[in-house]
Amino acid sequence: MKDGYKIIGFISSGTYGKVYKAVSSNSNDKRLFAIKKFKAESKQVSSNAQQTGVSQSAIREMMLCREIQHENIVSLVQVLLKDGTISMVFEYAEHDLLQIIHFHSRSRTRQIPPSILKSILWQIINGVAYLHENWIMHRDLKPANIMITATGKVKIGDLGLGRLIRDPILPFYSSDRVVVTIWYRAPELLLGAHDYTPAIDVWAIGCIYGEMLALSPLFKGDEIKMEDKKVVPFQSTQMLRIMELLGTPTEERWPGLKNYPEYYQLSSFEVRYWNNLLPQWYQTVKNRDPQGLDLLMKMLQYDPKSRITAKQALEHVFFTSDKLWTTSPFLNQPIHYPERRISEDDSEVSSKRVLSTSLRSESKRFKGN
């Protein structure tokens, strides 16, 4: 089976490869697609770099995406193979949450309307709850990975760091030393946890919620780069930003705190004790209500065992007490969000066409889509 896609724009790039906006070469198919083209893995052999195949991230994302299907998780349409390069074809979303946040940060009111904020937050939690119920941790939740359609439907993307929780072949720490983008990384990860739980995703959602309220990252620390791939540095600035807002972690607030490998690093801070200032901070944002603060505090508990679960968060009174929001929050709104910026400054875009052969198993899996 052969399938053609016309590349019509370049969306973004990362360590994994590049993402393009595309349409089907079949004129009867009017859908838009996002094509994620992976770089081939390489290793140094003598003075020559040799291609060794598909990255672990790509394999992981393909395996997870082909097994899951949920309204708030981006849908995999097809996996393509051309010239030894793997590409994943996804449904297209016009926006991402980072773009929505930036739009409102420059607007006159400087706030995301409550009904839109509540809907987006609930949908993120709904998608993550589905992942957790299916024994999957996302491990890289951040606004840029939250896609949103023209009607406001959330589609969680980028499962390249996703991991099965049940019966892992390798311990989490041995296979992935660093997970979660720094500003959304849970404190147990910062303190060197070798084993962790889906609570790290809930922490990240709490950070995203705070960012939607303030229109800027809640904990914006400077990342210390790894100089040695075998040694993960203690992210002191990030931990400091968390402590400045949430107060000093203690054994009373976080039983077992002293057992974390990097616990001793906390004694290096000049100030030894901070109060929890989250309630005061919450009073400075425009989109506040007491129930929202309660949910935020439960998401940002230091102790991962005390953190609210995604399933519990769906039933929080912040959502259940208000029936005015919908899961298509952009409909009937006076706000017009510009679509994600698409560039033509890329060699793939200039060719305007990519003909690829679909992997047989994926063709069967998505036949009829």
In terms of C-beta density within 10 A (0-12 exposed, 13-18 middle, 19 or more buried), how is residue 84 classed?
exposed
Q: What is the pLDDT of residue 14?
A: 76
Was 157 annotated as part of a binding site?
A: no
Please calculate the CA angle 293-190-64 and round it to the nearest 5 degrees: 85
Compare 27 and 277 and report the one with higher pLDDT: 277
Mean pLDDT of the region 173-189: 77
> Which stretches does DSSP call E strand in 144-286?
146-148, 154-156, 163-164
Mean pLDDT of the region 253-266: 94
97: amino acid identity, one letter: L
CATH architecture of 2-93+341-361: 2-Layer Sandwich (3.30)
Quick one: which of 156, 182, 171, 17 has its CA closest to 91?
A: 156
Mean pLDDT of the region 90-111: 93
Q: What is the pLDDT of residue 218?
A: 97
Was 18 annotated as part of a binding site?
A: yes
Residues 157/147, Cβ–Cβ less than 8 Å: yes
> Which stretches does DSSP call E strand in 125-255?
136-137, 146-148, 154-156, 163-164
| Mean confidence (pLDDT) of the chain | 85
Q: What is the pLDDT of residue 333?
A: 85
What pLDDT digit, counting tens, does each position of 34-51 carry? 999 987 765 544 444 445
Return the minimum-mean-pLDDT range out of 82-91, 109-118, 161-170, 209-218: 161-170
Percent of the chain, pLDDT > 90? 59
Was 19 annotated as part of a binding site?
A: yes
What pLDDT digit, counting tens, does each position of 46-72 carry? 444 445 467 777 888 898 999 999 999
Chain centroid, CA 40 distance in Å: 23
Distance CA 35, CA 33 (A): 6
Active-site residues: which are they?
140
Quick one: which of 307, 190, 198 has its CA closest to 260?
A: 190
Which top CATH class is 95-320?
mainly alpha
Distance CA 194, CA 207 (A): 22
Paired residues of 23 in beta bridges: 6, 32
What pLDDT digit, counting tens, does each position of 269-313 carry? 877 789 999 999 999 997 678 899 999 999 999 999 999 999 999
Paired residues of 82 in beta bridges: 85
Was 11 annotated as part of a binding site?
A: yes
Was 335 annotated as part of a binding site?
A: no
Residues 35/22, Cβ–Cβ less than 8 Å: yes
Query: Whole-model pTM above 0.85?
Result: yes
Was 15 annotated as part of a binding site?
A: yes
Q: Residue ranges of the domains in the chain?
A: 2-93+341-361, 95-320
Was 180 annotated as part of a binding site?
A: no
- Mention every residue, 6+ apart, whose C-beta is less than 8 A from residue 176: 139, 161, 163
Q: Could you tell me what percentage of the chain is helix, strand and coil, using 3-state DSSP and rounding each to the nearest 5?
A: 35, 20, 45
CA separation, residue 150 to residues 50, 93, 95, 120 (Å): 42, 7, 7, 13
Was 202 annotated as part of a binding site?
A: no
Structure tokens at 118: 């509540």
pLDDT confidence tier of residue 364, bands split at 50, 70 and 90: very low
240: amino acid identity, one letter: L
- Mention every residue, 6+ apart, whose C-beta is less than 8 A from residue 83: none
Distance CA 251, CA 68 (A): 39
